[in-house]
Amino acid sequence: MASAVELGGRFTARAVSAASGGAAETPKNRKYLRGRASMAKSSNLLKVAVGQMTASADIQSNFQACAGLVQEAVAAGVKLLSLPECFSFIGSKEGESLSIAEPLDGPIMKSYQNLDREAGLWLSLGGFQEKGPDAGHLYNTHVLLDDAGGVRGVYRKIHLFDVDVPGGPVLKESRSTAPGTDIIAVDSPVGKLGLTVCYDLRFPELYQQLRFQENAQILLVPSAFTKKTGEAHWEILLRARAVETQCYVIAAAQAGKHNEKRESYGDALIIDPWGTVIARCADKEATGIAVAELDHQFLESIRQRIPISQHRRYDIYGHSTGGAIGTTPHEVKLSSL
């Protein structure tokens, strides 16, 4: 498998200038952009990676693909690797996910813990089919492992994907998945991590709480976006969450055709607190990783220069709690939005 940091390689991360945020330098903004560039030269940089793959109904084959991504991450010297939603299984028939669901101490998760322990890095496993509260439902669970293979965080997806995608599939996640009820943030060597999964991305209130109540610095968004919704909304939503929370965003992605019925958009990304894409897989559909360096000095400089945490008017609009967490989702037709 090719190295993720090999120039011109299939899995090379494409870096975007951290100094400009994608903006051209003009006489008006030159001073600010150059100041931003100098702040980005901190010596305290933390290397992380985001993964992209095409999972199938073959659990062992998926494990081998994930093991290859872990090996790439180790070779690149990263401290944390994020793998996408459904990293261990994507079925082609209704009910398949439910039939293979296991508790977190079952053999599938144990195999990933052993892999992680041997690799010696933190591993974000986003979207594991965990045995649920009853025989008819599982949890879509984001599991965070430390560098010794220990479970450090467990987030069960709150927002379930019940959507009729125009020109795409009809998906009703709540048929076999129970929603979670807890917001989870975990301290790690690369910063405080806010755990989410895929469709959560469309609900900014969750990310507001992770930043302003849980003090998250990095938002993990492992996903399996559909081709149609990914083309329209994937990058813009991720960049919006980064800008409005002033956090790094690491968005692992499923990519390509999993079976005759299901295809994912791909385009795994890492985004900085200014909303700049600082790494992405060169091929939106190929299996591989993208690597970036996180700079907490830069993150704090953004928060100090635009202090939105101090300017929030909870006295007027209250905290971003919204409705009751864990309520049954309603099926939505995107064509009607």
Bridge partners, 248 (sequence order): 218
Q: Which of 72, 85, 173, 293 is catalytic?
A: 85
Contact (Cβ atoms closer than 8 angstroms) between residue 149 and residue 117: yes
Provide the whole-model pTM.
0.84
- Residue-wise burial string across 215-228, b where 16 or more C-beta atoms lie within 10 A, e elsewhere: ebbbbbbbbbbbbb
Distance of CA 83 to the CA centre of its chain: 8
Percent of the chain, pLDDT > 90?
A: 75
Contact (Cβ atoms closer than 8 angstroms) between residue 130 and residue 102: yes
Contact (Cβ atoms closer than 8 angstroms) between residue 147 and residue 187: no
Q: Which of 157, 247, 285, 293 is catalytic?
A: 157
DSSP letters along 116-172, please? Answer: HHHHTSEEEEEEEEEEEEETTEEEEEEEEE-TTS-EEEEEE--S--EEE-TTS-EEE
| Whether residue 55 has pLDDT greater than 80 | yes
| Number of C-beta neighbours around residue 161 at 10 A | 23
Q: What is the pLDDT of residue 33?
A: 35
Q: What is the pLDDT of residue 17?
A: 33
Which of 4-18, 156-170, 206-220, 263-277 bottoms out in mean pLDDT, i.e. has the lowest? 4-18
Higher model confidence: residue 24 or residue 200?
A: 200
End-to-end CA separation in angstroms for the chain: 42
- Arithmetic mean of pLDDT, 131-152: 98
Q: Is 85 a catalytic site residue? A: yes
Q: Is 86 a catalytic site residue? A: no
Per-residue pLDDT tens over the stretch 36-52: 443 444 557 999 999 99
Rounded Cα–Cα distance for residues 76 and 72 (Å): 6
Q: Is 66 a catalytic site residue? A: no
Closest among 248, 221, 244, 247 to 234, alpha carbons compared = 221
- Per-residue pLDDT band for 321 (boundaries 50, 70, 90) equals low
User: What secondary structure letter does DSSP report for 321?
Assistant: T
Q: Residues 83, 87, 88, CA angle at the centre, nearest 5°?
A: 140
| Whether residue 11 has pLDDT greater than 70 | no
Higher model confidence: residue 322 or residue 289?
A: 289
Q: What is the pLDDT of residue 42?
A: 55
Q: In what order do the strands lie in the sheet with 162-164?
A: 170-172, 162-164, 332-333
| Number of C-beta neighbours around residue 44 at 10 A | 10
Q: Which of 66, 86, 198, 281 is catalytic?
A: 198
